[in-house]
Amino acid sequence: MKPLFVDNKKKKPLWTKAFLITSLSNLLLFFSFQMLIPTIPTHVSQLGGNDIQVGLVIGIFTISSLLTRPFAGRALDLFGRKHVLLVGLAICALTIAGYSYMAAVTLILTARFVHGIGWGMSTTSLGTVIADIIPAERRGEGMGYYGLSNTFAMALAPLTGLWLMQTYGFPRVLLISTLLALLSLLSSLFITYTKPLPLEKSAQRPKLMDRLWERSAMLPSGLLLCTAICYGGIVTFITLFGHEAGISNVGWFFLCNASMVLIVRPITGMLFDRKGPEWVLLPGALFTLAGLLLLSYAHSEASLAAAAICYGIGFGSLQPALQAWTIARAAPNRRGAANGTFFSANDLGIGLGAMVLGALANISGSYALMYRYSTVLILVFILIYGWCFWQARRGVQMAQH
């Protein structure tokens, strides 16, 4: 856990052509995807789908993406980044276009499974490509800026999708979403950079689990899992919590949260590079904890906005720092597997958050209590990382003596 400090005078450039194109491709892909999150469940409902089928629209997608990521990560290390990326983006674009011709709910659910495969391949690929491109001494800063493309899409795309659906209908949403996915594919064709070293051949064939998962990524991915479960509870139940608390417009939470993420990510990224992960992860966890507690006691739009500001500072700090730390711990020829492990933890956490915290809310009879109880996960985060940090410091001190 040594700080990744390098003399500023020797810093390599960050804003290269490859960095900009990869970030643009990621923005287009996420905007395409986020437009469908609030609209496709509504479309399925209009086709006559029941509550279970509407839930499966998100659940099946998450499951297929989760299952795909480890294999996508392995393929990235074996066959190269660009091949896997282009195939994944092509699957996304073709599947979104195909939704227009599906009038049966079962067909849409099948297509969602295929779409999840393309999503798992393309997002894991883009995360690995950007990790290859960003200079090691600017990894935290670079990941922070790269993550802004996700945040920008999360803030604007759902509103854009809903507006298009209400104004022009669902076919127009699919048309724009397909065009954005195709533009992401087109821009990715122009990504060029120095390829990482190939996988080293070993006399002993590695075990299947070691080929699919990266051991060095397990710690940051486990920490991400804790935060992702909490986030899954927020995105799934925040509207229902608003009804419970008497807050008419919960959209303020997403607006304030996204605004703080946009502000915080570049700052904490540079702090990560200069001081090390402990200067970002521990304060970020504390802000996340405070945000969840404030959310659980929110009773007005003002108090909801205050909760969102704290949570946005924490969330905006933790996710890119954990990803940068994951890449820093992995060998260059294992970055695909590392990213596959990392993103799988994120998908799993959001899915668990929707199911486990939903069951907790049902048992406790209160979404406010559910958010309060979810702070235990952040305490676990702090304890695990604190113990690992203490062990690492202790090892350094023993080595010096």
Burial category of 362 from C-beta neighbours within 10 Å (exposed 0-12, middle 13-18, buried 19 and up): exposed
Highest mean pLDDT among 198-212, 246-260, 274-288: 274-288
pLDDT, average across residues 45-65: 82
What are 158-161's contacts with CB under 8 Å, separation 24+? 158/34, 158/35, 158/37, 158/38, 160/31, 160/35, 161/34, 161/35, 161/36, 161/37, 161/38, 161/39
pLDDT value at 156 more than 90: no
- The pLDDT value given to residue 56: 80
What are residue 260's phi and psi, to 5 degrees?
Answer: -70, -35
Higher pLDDT, 75 or 239: 75
Distance between CA 279 and CA 261 in Å, rounded?
A: 17
- The pLDDT value given to residue 196: 60
* Residue-wise pLDDT tens digits, 89-99: 999 999 999 99
pLDDT value at 8 more than 80: no
* Residue-wise pLDDT tens digits, 163-204: 999 899 999 999 999 999 999 999 999 998 776 655 554 444
Tokens of 295: 């959310």
pLDDT, average across residues 236-257: 85
CB 330 within 8 Å of CB 217 = yes
The predicted model scores a pTM of 0.79
* Residue-wise pLDDT tens digits, 216-241: 899 999 999 999 999 988 877 887 88
pLDDT, average across residues 107-126: 95
* Residue-wise pLDDT tens digits, 134-143: 998 999 999 9
Distance between CA 57 and CA 115 in Å, rounded?
A: 11
- The pLDDT value given to residue 331: 87
* Residue-wise pLDDT tens digits, 362-375: 899 999 999 999 99
User: What is the overall mean pLDDT for the chain?
Assistant: 88
pLDDT value at 2 more than 70: no
Instruction: From 324, 326, 328, 322, select the one nearest 338 (Cα to Cα).
Output: 326
Instruction: From 76, 89, 70, select the one nearest 22 (Cα to Cα).
Output: 89
In sequence order, which ranges of 246-300 are alpha helices (DSSP H)? 251-275, 278-296
- The pLDDT value given to residue 279: 92
